Chain A
Amino acid sequence: MVNYNLLSALLSLPVVGIFLSWIMPKTSQRIYAIFGSLVILAVSIYIALQAGDTPWDVKLVWLPELGLSLNLKWDSVSRWFVILNSLVAVLAFSLRGPWYRKNSRLFTALGFFLMFALNAAFLSNDVILFYLAYEAVFIPMIFMVGIWGSNAKATSVFRFFLMSFFGSVLMLVSMFALIYLFKEQSGQYSSSLPDLIQAASVKNGQALHWCFLGFFLAFAIKVPVFPFHGWLKEVYVNAPMPATLWMSAILSKLGVFGFLRFVLPIFPGLALENQGWILALSAVSILYAAFLAIRANSPKELLAYSSISHLGFVMLGVFSLSSGGASSAILLSIGHTLVSAMLFYGLHLVEERKDVSDLSVSHGLARVYPVLFTFMFIAVLGAVALPGTMNFVGEFLSLLHAFSASVPSVVVGALGVVLGAVYMLKFYQQLGFGEASGDQTVKDLGVYDIAVLSVLVLILIYFGFQPMLLLKGNG
């Protein structure tokens, strides 16, 4: 009962946050939003401490005729994504910019709505609830790009969203197919995940194959994995920085979560059958995106592609299809969330100080803003997965586990380690090194930003040496 109250608090608190944002004064929205997301973060961490290693499973039957129920699950797969969701929200809300000057209440409300939808998606143990939450994530994103985005051609950006919508429609069809399958076997409707896992384990054959592909496509677009990444660049580049931060840091994990929560448990046999080409695709994804990052000439574009490349390593861990591989993928996901949040956060701070949209010239800002660039450098080290950071442990373990499944994929994917150094150094050096031009009147970091980034750095390095604390309770 306590479990249920706590878990539903993770859904109801953001909703309260949405409504409160219309009451709070326009000018103090930023402080309100940061405070509100910190509260939700505190609740998530409290649950993590309460739950410890035991998974929480709450089920509340609603309309048994239709198989609808509120089915939530807190376990080693979902917990970090839920916690990170609030952490990322704190960071995204912390960014100053036009979103706090124009329609600031709407921005805060959208942010809380996003937290709500993501928490619902990560906590759901029910395919229909997951689907609704998964789609709902788009709404705040579209509004943010449309209202505060850098590009006037907002409709063209919508189109890129549509591609990911396209994939999720196929997933919905697959979900209905599975629900129907369960109805055939047991005579009643259910959309709860354990029921569907059971249904799929009995059934075999062509239909299941299509279901697998439906799910795979939806999540592969979401991650994204090559060649389904086409939507990403335009959206990242044109979105306002908080939205980009949200997308790279946590929305991309929806795909990873989807694989771990749905695809592998429902289709263990098919995952194994298709393991070879999926691993190969992930390896290609790493290299392909890395090459595009190398030639990218705007920092946002570079980071957008680097995100694809890094998630390729996560995919290698996921589809190593070992319990250790899944754990490593979660570990690397956490690392990637932290590092990409830090990078976009830092990039925003840089952009507040100087226009750095062109990376083909060196801006020489490290001497002007030494503290900011120290943090940026540590984030870059995380991005290249230097030992001592969490990302190293995640990347190393992901590759190690995938190595048992496919040597060629790992050899190809590991080349991304070298290319990653190439583009991340380019990113840092073009921003930081060389001679600074123009007048630099804006100051280096303030106390708040130093505090936020210091906390992130400490987490990044602490768990680089104590990564197992994050995996407690994982089989």
Chain B
Amino acid sequence: MILSLLILFPAVGFLINGLLHLMAVNSKRKISANVSGFIATAAMVASFGVALYQFLLLRNIPAEGRIFEQTLFNWISLGKLQLDFTLRLDSLSAVFCLVITGVGSLIHLYSIGYMHDDETPAKYFSYLNLFCFMMLNLVLGATLPHVFLGWEGVGLASYLLIGYWYRDLEKVAAGQKAFIMNRIGDLAFLLAMFLAFRATGTLDLLQLQKIGLEPALVLPFGLLIFFACTGKSAQIPLFTWLPDAMAGPTPVSALIHAATMVTSGIYLLTRLSSVISSSETVLMVIAMTGAVTVFLSALMACAQTDIKKVLAYSTISQLGFMFLGCGVGAFDAGVFHVMTHAFFKALLFLGAGSVIHALHGEQDIFKMGGLMKKLPITSWTFIMGWAAILGLPPFSGFFSKDEIIYQSLTSPHGSVSFFILAVAAAFLTAFYMTRLLVLVFFGPSRVDAKVAAKIHESPMLMAAPLIVLSILALVGGWLGAPVHVGAETTTESHAIEYAVMGGSVVMALIGAFIAHKKYGQTSKAEKVNSFLLNGMKWDSFYLCTFGTGTQKIATGINTFFEEMIVQRLIRWSAVAVDLSGNILKIAQSGSAQGYLAMMAIAIFAILAWVIYGVGQYGKL
């Protein structure tokens, strides 16, 4: 069994680069980005090779038995709880593994160019490998605590990489916010595990699927799991960390905050679909959250001026699509969209990174424009990504998104309102993406003169991943969803499907046309709606409720309870002891000495005890 190699390679890469980094900083030297990047990329490519090999093997097995398992060691065994550290590969985790290692390899490669001038590239690459290691554990873990290991592990890597440039306190705060909001979700995950174990006596995912939960427990379990997923996958109400997470290096945004980590919510929901989908309420909550998130975050994306923030809100919106898919019972459509989205969103982020790189750090889209001629590779690949996210046939996004929109209407769990929100979001997606496209690559240049002179196309190391991803964004849809998870698929007449297909494409084209009209010739910054720009003020709401709330509770507890009661009690009890001490004349010159004397007597008593005891023993 070579399954463990899959996680071993990134682990080794992490250790090598981590130690290299520590040794280098200790002797005030620098490891070059080429060396550390090569190690990290080689680890990922090797891991991808293993994933591909295992995937091909898996396909040769009849569908029912498509599971590879490798138990590495016994992790926890205490009473009823028996947890092995087992890796389990089935069709679902195989898709995720391919995306993580495949897209991961490309982004590692790209990072070599992007982080070339960074101070501590070995640290960066060790974190990136750590992330992949944890993400692979998340999707390969056979038990819920093993998944949780990956779940919190990717959160850790994400924290480290968002605050990678930690001299900037704003970036540190962004990382902290991501970690803490994710922890709120993790709390729900923990409670869900306790609940499941109490009810079934197992935390193994297969066992859990077999046994299932009694109907009364499905609702709390499903909601807890779902809440955990809203944290990791940045859905309402826990989405506000993702736009801030753009503080990290752009390849990180592409890998962690677009292609892989944020989709782990969809992974978990799909993994547990057979357990949770017996509750209508749980499914409805998932679908509703997805539908509302899809729409609202698409709206917020329309007002962003930072190239990465547009893509961040877009990611939240696309994740909303996936949740909507899961919520209407079309889990495989959700997973399909995870895959195509990984291709085109990674492409768009890396393209944005290439633009930022060329403009020496500029991220304001109103200070770009007309870059088509100067950055041909970046532009053309970005256009491919744009077409894919719009869902234009035959690009990959078309197939997966169309499937979700179709299911939101026709699935037994679907409804017209979900459909309307989804189509509206498709329209808005076309609008904000076209706005982005024309503001950055077309129209008049608004680039600062100083910067403009130095614009150059990215090096081949960065361009190559763009080209590969753009091909995947084009043909990814034809790969189809190679997963078959326990979800209902309806085979209605194709008429509705074609109508939905055509409708959503037309909506997208209208949105694109309007945006093009509005922004095609923009020569100065637009006055944007500050309510939308600030993510509908969710953040300020959290800050003045939970943020200051926590501080207020802390201060309140301190002044009213700790100082007034607990500390006062201590003083009184001390005084009382003093007094009694005086009365008993234990101590003449202050209580402290008296107690010291008493204790000194105690020590001699013990010594005598022990020594006498030892002596007695000798005589026996």
Are A142 and B596 neighbours in the complex by a CB distance under 8 Å? yes
* A136-B603 contact in complex given A70-B610, A371-B22, C-beta closer than 8 Å: yes
Complex Cα distance A68/B609, Å? 9
Contact present for A403 and B194 (CB under 8 Å): yes
Determine whether the beta carbon of A466 is less than 8 Å from that of B73. yes
Q: In the complex where A142-B596, A158-B595, A417-B183 touch, is A433 in contact with B606 (Cβ < 8 A)?
A: no
Q: A435 on the interface (CB 8 Å rule)? A: yes
A231 interface residue, CB < 8 Å from B? yes
Nearest-neighbor residue (CB-CB) of B163 within chain A: A433
Task: Tell me if A400 and B194 are in contact (CB < 8 A).
Answer: yes
Report whether A15 and B609 are in contact in the complex, using a CB–CB cutoff of 8 Å: no
Name which residue of chain B comes closest to A421, CB basis. Answer: B183
Report which residue of B77, B148, B569, B606 has the largest number of chain A beta carbons within 10 angstroms of its beta carbon.
B606
Q: State A327–B194 Cα separation when bound (angstroms).
A: 17
A471-B78 contact, Cβ under 8 Å, with A158-B595, A433-B169: yes
B contact residues around A206 at 8 Å (CB):
none
A158-B591, A166-B577, A400-B81 given; A132·B169 CB < 8 A: no
A70 in contact with B609 (CB, 8 Å): yes
**A429: Cβ under 8 A from any B Cβ:** yes
Q: Which residues of B contact A328 (CB under 8 A)?
A: 78
Assuming A132-B605, A411-B191, A421-B183, is B75 touching A465 (CB within 8 A)?
Answer: yes
Cβ contacts under 8 Å, A154 to chain B: 592
The answer to the question of B414 belonging to the interface, with a C-beta cut-off of 8 Å to chain A, is no
Contact of B610 among A11, A381, A466 (CB under 8 A): A11
Q: Which residues of A contact B569 (CB under 8 A)?
A: 227, 230
Contact with A along B577-620 (1 / 0, CB 8 A): 11000000000001110011001101101110110111011000
- In the complex, which of the residues B79, B595, B617 contacts A324, with contact meaning CB atoms closer than 8 Å? B79
Interface-side segment among B246-254, B299-307, B548-556: B548-556
A90 is an interface residue with CB less than 8 A from chain B: no
Chain A residues whose C-beta falls within 8 Å of the C-beta of B172 in the assembled complex: 429, 433-434
Please report whether the interface of chain A is mostly helix, strand, loop or mixed according to DSSP: helix
Which residues of chain B (367-425) have a CB below 8 Å from chain A?
Answer: none
Task: Find residues 558-573 in chain B having any chain A CB closer than 8 Å to their own CB.
Answer: 558, 561-562, 565-567, 569-571, 573
Query: Is A204 in the interface zone, CB < 8 Å from B?
Result: no
Any A CB within 8 A of the CB of B74: yes
Residues of A within 8 A of B612 (CB): 62
Whether A42 is near chain B, meaning CB under 8 Å from some CB there, is no
Within 8 A of A (CB), among B126-166: 145, 148-149, 152-153, 156, 163, 166
Q: Interface size (A, Cβ < 8 Å)?
A: 85
The CA-CA distance from A425 to B160 in the complex, in Å, is 12
A129 proximity list for chain B (CB < 8 A): 606, 609
CA distance A404 to B605 in the complex (A): 44
User: Residues of B contacting A11 with CB < 8 Å?
Assistant: 610
Q: Does A174 contact B (CB under 8 A)?
A: no
A468 to B73, CA, bound (A): 11
* CB atoms of A433 and B603 under 8 A apart: no
In the bound complex, do residue B148 and residue A387 qualify as a contact, i.e. CB atoms below 8 Å apart? yes
Please determine whether B176 and A425 come into contact, CB atoms closer than 8 angstroms.
yes
Task: Check if B187 is an interface residue, CB within 8 A of chain A.
Answer: yes
A370 within 8 A of B: yes
Interface residue total, chain B, C-beta cutoff 8 A: 75
Choose from B180, B553, B573 the contact partner of A421 (Cβ within 8 Å): B180
Per the 8 Å Cβ criterion, residues 136-158 of A in contact with B are 136, 138-139, 142, 154-155, 158
Let me know if B197 is at the binding interface, CB within 8 A: yes
Q: Which residue of B lies closest to A362 (CB)?
A: B169
A42 vs B77: C-alpha distance in the bound complex, in angstroms? 28
Chain B residue with Cβ nearest A129: B609
Say yes or no: B557 contacts A468, CB within 8 Å.
Answer: no
Confirm or deny: A229 has a beta carbon within 8 angstroms of a beta carbon on chain B.
yes
Q: Is B167 an interface residue (CB 8 A)?
A: yes
Q: Are B602 and A374 in contact (CB under 8 A)?
A: no
Name the A residues within 8 Å of B198 (CB-CB).
Answer: 403-404
Q: Is A165 an interface residue (CB 8 A)?
A: yes
- Whether B571 and A159, one on each chain, are in contact in the complex, defined by CB atoms closer than 8 angstroms, is yes
Q: Mark A305-349, 1 if CB is under 8 A from B, else 0.
A: 000000000000000001110011000000000000000000000
Type the 1/0 row for B532-558, where 1 means its CB is closer than 8 Å to any CB of A. Answer: 000000000000000000110111011
Chain B residues with CB under 8 Å of A419's CB are 550
A422 to B238, CA, bound (A): 16
Whether A292 and B577, one on each chain, are in contact in the complex, defined by CB atoms closer than 8 angstroms, is no
In the bound complex, do residue A417 and residue B190 qualify as a contact, i.e. CB atoms below 8 Å apart?
yes
Residue in chain B with minimal CB distance to A364 = B167
Q: Which residue of A lies closest to B613 (CB)?
A: A70
Q: Give the residue name and chain of the B residue nearest to A226 (CB).
A: B566
A117 and B605 CA atoms in complex are apart in Å by 12
- The reply to whether the CB of A249 lies closer than 8 angstroms to some CB of chain B is no
Q: B190–A414 contact, CB under 8 A?
A: yes
B574 within 8 A of A: yes
**B519 at the binding interface (Cβ < 8 Å):** no
Contact with B26, one of A4, A294, A415, A444 (Cβ below 8 angstroms): A444
Which listed residue, B566, B603, B609, touches A139 by the CB 8 Å rule?
Answer: B603
Q: With both chains docked as a complex, state the minimum distance between the C-beta of A385 and any C-beta of chain B, in angstroms.
A: 9
Q: Are A60 and B616 in contact (CB under 8 A)?
A: yes
Query: Which residues of the other chain, B, contact A471 by a CB distance below 8 angstroms?
Result: 78
Q: Is residue B76 contacting chain A, with contact meaning CB distance below 8 A?
A: yes
Is B78 touching A397 in the complex (CB atoms < 8 A)? yes
Give chain B nearest CB distance to A375 CB in angstroms.
10
B244 cross-chain contacts in A, Cβ below 8 A: none
A467 proximity list for chain B (CB < 8 A): 75-76
A245 part of interface (Cβ distance < 8 Å) = no
Shortest distance between the CB of A311 and any CB in chain B (Å): 16
Which residue of chain A is the closest to B184 with respect to CB atoms?
Answer: A418
Q: Contacting A136 at CB < 8 Å: which of B79, B81, B602, B613?
A: B602
On whether the beta carbons of A132 and B614 are closer than 8 Å, the reply is no
> What is the bound-complex CA distance between A159 and B595, given in angstroms?
11
**CB closest chain-A residue, reference B195:** A403
Taking CB as reference atom, which chain A residue is nearest B566? A230
- Cβ contact within 8 Å between A8 and B610: yes
In the complex, the answer to whether A155 meets B592 with C-beta atoms within 8 Å is yes
In the complex, A386 has a CB within 8 A of chain B: yes
Cβ–Cβ < 8 Å partners of A415 in chain B:
187
**Pick from A162, A418, A444: contact of B573, CB under 8 Å:** A162
CB-CB under 8 A from B79, the residues of chain A are: 322-324
* Contact in complex: B574, A160 (CB < 8 Å): yes
Q: Are A136 and B554 in contact (CB under 8 A)?
A: no
Interface membership of chain B positions 45-78, coded 1 if the CB is closer than 8 angstroms to chain A and 0 otherwise:
0000000000000000000000000000111111
Chain B residues with CB under 8 Å of A396's CB are 145, 190
The answer to whether A138 touches B187 (Cβ under 8 A) is no
Report the separation of the CA atoms of residues A414 and B192 in the bound assembly, to the nearest whole angstrom.
12
- 13 pairs from A and B in contact (CB 8 Å cutoff): A8-B617, A136-B602, A136-B603, A142-B592, A159-B578, A292-B557, A295-B554, A324-B78, A328-B78, A364-B167, A404-B198, A410-B194, A468-B76
Residues of B within 8 A of A (CB): 22, 25-26, 73-79, 81, 85, 145, 148-149, 152-153, 156, 163, 166-167, 169, 172, 176, 179-180, 183-184, 186-187, 190-191, 193-195, 197-198, 550-551, 553-555, 557-558, 561-562, 565-567, 569-571, 573-574, 577-578, 590-592, 595-596, 599-600, 602-603, 605-607, 609-610, 612-614, 616-617
- Shortest 8 CB-CB contacts between residues of A and residues of B: A70-B613, A159-B574, A387-B149, A230-B570, A295-B554, A403-B194, A433-B166, A291-B554
Q: Which residues of A contact B (CB under 8 A)?
A: 4, 8, 11-12, 15, 60, 62, 68-70, 113, 117, 120, 129, 132-133, 135-136, 138-139, 142, 154-155, 158-163, 165-166, 227, 229-231, 288, 291-292, 294-295, 322-324, 327-328, 362, 364, 366-367, 370-371, 374, 381, 386-388, 392-393, 396-397, 399-400, 403-404, 410-411, 414-415, 417-419, 421-422, 425, 429, 432-435, 444, 465-468, 471
Given contacts A422-B180, A468-B76, 19 further A-B contacts (CB under 8 A): A8-B613, A68-B609, A70-B613, A142-B596, A159-B578, A324-B81, A371-B25, A371-B26, A374-B22, A386-B152, A386-B156, A387-B148, A400-B197, A404-B198, A417-B190, A418-B187, A425-B179, A435-B167, A467-B75
